[in-house]
């Protein structure tokens, strides 16, 4: 009855969940006796968060730091990103009558800041600029701006050139022609992608806090390390409230902007909002850190060729690369496969709401905190890092999948139910199947993000390039730092290239 293997999109959306098997096997076999007690205390803390006024006051100030950092970093990255995106678009250079090579050179140069995770930027800038609120802002702005630039440039290049040519031939100036022909389409890109980046910026600002760059992340880490779970949950609930408010706000904004008759006006409001957020965030940070002062460049002993060669011989390349790739594959498998698997368990509406709540929780907890939490009851292994990273990204993928499923036409599901198929099977065939190519396309993009993020759990979990990088940074071994960051850059650029191919494949299928 069963013939050759012919996996289709819905099967490929579920199969990656198999990564959970080895990961859970290692995690469960490594759990020690006291683990259950600690986990119990953690779960009880969720129901009884601390309401100590002093703690609440401190957490609210920390939350303000995180939000102000996210807002400023996001605003700066959008302004810079759009500018750099325009400058790296060959089409715009040609429209102004210039050769296109400067755009190509700039596009290639922008690959480097993009390939380095914001956490690495944060730790590097911390070493050379010292502790300052704008270090976290810069750490977010640098990679985000080049990410925005890439998306902006790709969108500009993919637009139909005939409209632009028609307006130019009618005698319009290049600026007027671009505004007339390109801005309607680019406005919607700015609104939808820009909104998404604000959610990312909030996650990044929290994460940077975990590594000492200020804000709520730092308080969460301290509470967790001192096993003050009730305090930890006070912070987590606060963060969840802000995250949900932001996501709902952005969802409302997207639907409003999508329905609005005068789209250009909505785009203008958005642009003003971005500029305002930069100004507001900067003033807010200034209020929160009145004694921060100006940024100072601390001297760094840049490595010479000889020390680079020595460092290259010292580093355990094979194990580092293997661990990083294994971490990426396992975490990506969990992130892609777990969301549809959880929804497949039962199509009951109540269960899907519970799962939706779970996604909020796992995407709010920064992966290094999840690693620390798991380490309270387990030994440090690569599986711990993969589980933490996979769960965190499941939260992001799960939310998008559920949002997509809500918009999915259910006529095929209705047909299957009327033909006697079970609720599970009709959900699998009628709803997940049509949605799975876009889930896989986003999964390809997310795998690329996960490869970048391995540094985050590597730093804590003691595995891969991330752990080695932290060791090198804390011992000011700049030669090793340069080599490790370069390796990360090459790996993430390769990953980006691969994920682009997969994404195109699934979007066109």
Site for other proteins contains 504 (CB under 8 A): no
Task: Give the integer Cα–Cα distance in Å for 505 and 499.
Answer: 10
Residue number, 179 or 421, with CB nearest to other proteins: 421
**436: which 2 tokens?**
């799975």
Residue number, 170 or 415, with CB nearest to other proteins: 415
Site for other proteins contains 441 (CB under 8 A): no
Site for other proteins contains 434 (CB under 8 A): yes
Task: Give the integer Cα–Cα distance in Å for 235 and 61.
Answer: 11
Site for other proteins contains 437 (CB under 8 A): yes
Residue number, 50 or 426, with CB nearest to other proteins: 426
Strand, coil or helix: what is 462? coil
Site for other proteins contains 425 (CB under 8 A): yes
Task: Give the integer Cα–Cα distance in Å for 345 and 224.
Answer: 32
Contact residues for 265 (Cβ-Cβ < 8 A; gap 6+): none
The piece of 143-151, 165-173, 398-406, 411-419 that touches other proteins (CB under 8 A) is 411-419
Residue number, 250 or 344, with CB nearest to other proteins: 344
Site for other proteins contains 347 (CB under 8 A): no
The piece of 117-125, 133-141, 363-371, 425-433 that touches other proteins (CB under 8 A) is 425-433
For the chain, how big is the Rg over CA atoms in Å?
24
Surface-to-core class of residue 278, CB atoms within 10 Å of its CB (0-12 exposed, 13-18 middle, 19+ buried): buried
The piece of 274-282, 306-314, 410-418, 458-466 that touches other proteins (CB under 8 A) is 410-418
Query: Least separation, in Å, of the C-beta of 503 and other proteins?
Result: 16
Query: Least separation, in Å, of the C-beta of 499 and other proteins?
Result: 20
Task: Give the integer Cα–Cα distance in Å for 440 and 446.
Answer: 9
Site for other proteins contains 11 (CB under 8 A): yes
Query: Least separation, in Å, of the C-beta of 20 and other proteins?
Result: 16
CA atoms within 13 A on the CB side of 330: 24
Query: Least separation, in Å, of the C-beta of 11 and other proteins?
Result: 4
Contact residues for 73 (Cβ-Cβ < 8 A; gap 6+): 136, 137, 138, 139, 140, 141, 144, 201, 204, 205, 281
Query: Least separation, in Å, of the C-beta of 429 and other proteins?
Result: 6
The piece of 87-95, 218-226, 317-325, 406-414 that touches other proteins (CB under 8 A) is 406-414
DSSP symbols for 306-359: HHHHHHHHHS-HHHHHHHHHHHHHHHHHHHHHHHHHHHHH---HHHHHHHHHHH
Task: Give the integer Cα–Cα distance in Å for 106 and 23.
Answer: 41
Site for other proteins contains 417 (CB under 8 A): yes
Residue number, 80 or 417, with CB nearest to other proteins: 417
Site for other proteins contains 426 (CB under 8 A): yes
Site for other proteins contains 414 (CB under 8 A): yes
Which residues of this protein are in contact with other proteins, per CB under 8 A? 1-11, 14-15, 411-412, 414-422, 424-426, 428-430, 433-434, 436-437, 509
């Amino acid at each position: 009855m069963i013939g050759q293997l012919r996996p289709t999109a819905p099967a490929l959306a579920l199969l990656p969940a198999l990564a959970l098997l080895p990961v859970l096997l290692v995690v469960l076999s490594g759990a020690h006796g006291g683990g259950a007690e600690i986990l119990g205390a953690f779960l009880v803390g969720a129901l009884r968060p601390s309401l100590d006024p002093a703690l609440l006051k401190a957490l609210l100030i920390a939350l303000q730091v995180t939000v102000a950092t996210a807002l400023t970093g996001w605003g700066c990255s959008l302004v810079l990103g759009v500018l750099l995106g325009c400058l790296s678009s060959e089409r715009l250079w040609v429209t102004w009558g210039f050769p296109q090579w400067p755009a190509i050179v700039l596009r290639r140069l922008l690959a480097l800041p993009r390939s380095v995770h914001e956490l690495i930027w944060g730790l590097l800038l911390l070493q050379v600029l010292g502790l300052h609120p704008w270090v976290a802002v810069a750490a977010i702005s640098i990679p985000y701006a080049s990410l925005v630039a890439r998306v902006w440039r790709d969108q500009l290049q993919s637009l139909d050139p005939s409209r632009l040519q028609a307006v130019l031939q009618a005698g319009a100036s290049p600026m007027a022609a671009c505004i007339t022909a390109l801005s309607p389409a680019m406005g919607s890109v700015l609104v939808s992608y820009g909104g998404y980046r604000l959610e990312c910026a909030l996650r990044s600002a929290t994460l940077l806090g975990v590594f000492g760059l200020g804000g709520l992340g730092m308080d969460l880490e301290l509470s967790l390390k001192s096993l003050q779970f009730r305090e930890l949950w006070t912070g987590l609930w606060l963060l969840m409230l802000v995250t949900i408010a932001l996501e709902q706000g952005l969802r409302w904004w997207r639907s409003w902007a999508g329905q609005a008759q005068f789209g250009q006006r909505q785009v203008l409001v958005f642009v003003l909002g971005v500029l305002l957020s930069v100004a507001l965030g900067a003033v807010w940070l200034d209020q929160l850190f009145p004694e921060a002062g100006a940024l100072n460049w601390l001297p760094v002993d840049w490595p010479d060729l000889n020390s680079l060669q020595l460092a290259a011989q010292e580093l355990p390349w094979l194990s580092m690369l293997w661990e990083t790739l294994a971490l990426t594959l396992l975490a990506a498998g969990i992130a892609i496969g777990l969301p549809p698997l959880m929804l497949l368990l039962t199509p009951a509406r109540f269960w899907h709401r519970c799962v939706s709540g779970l996604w909020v929780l796992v995407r709010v907890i920064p992966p290094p905190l999840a690693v620390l939490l798991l380490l309270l009851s387990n030994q440090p292994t690569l599986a711990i890092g993969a589980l933490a990273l996979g769960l965190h990204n499941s939260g992001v993928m799960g939310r998008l999948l559920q949002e997509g499923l809500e918009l999915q036409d259910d006529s095929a599901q209705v047909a299957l139910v009327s033909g006697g198929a079970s609720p599970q099977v009709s959900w699998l065939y009628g709803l997940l199947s049509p949605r799975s190519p876009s889930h896989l396309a986003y999964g390809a993009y997310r795998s690329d993000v996960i490869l970048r993020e391995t540094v985050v759990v590597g730093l804590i979990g003691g595995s891969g390039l991330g752990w080695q990088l932290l060791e090198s940074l804390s011992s000011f071994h700049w030669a090793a730092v340069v080599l490790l960051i370069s390796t990360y850059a090459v790996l993430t650029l390769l990953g980006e290239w691969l994920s682009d191919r997969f994404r195109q494949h699934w979007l066109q299928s």
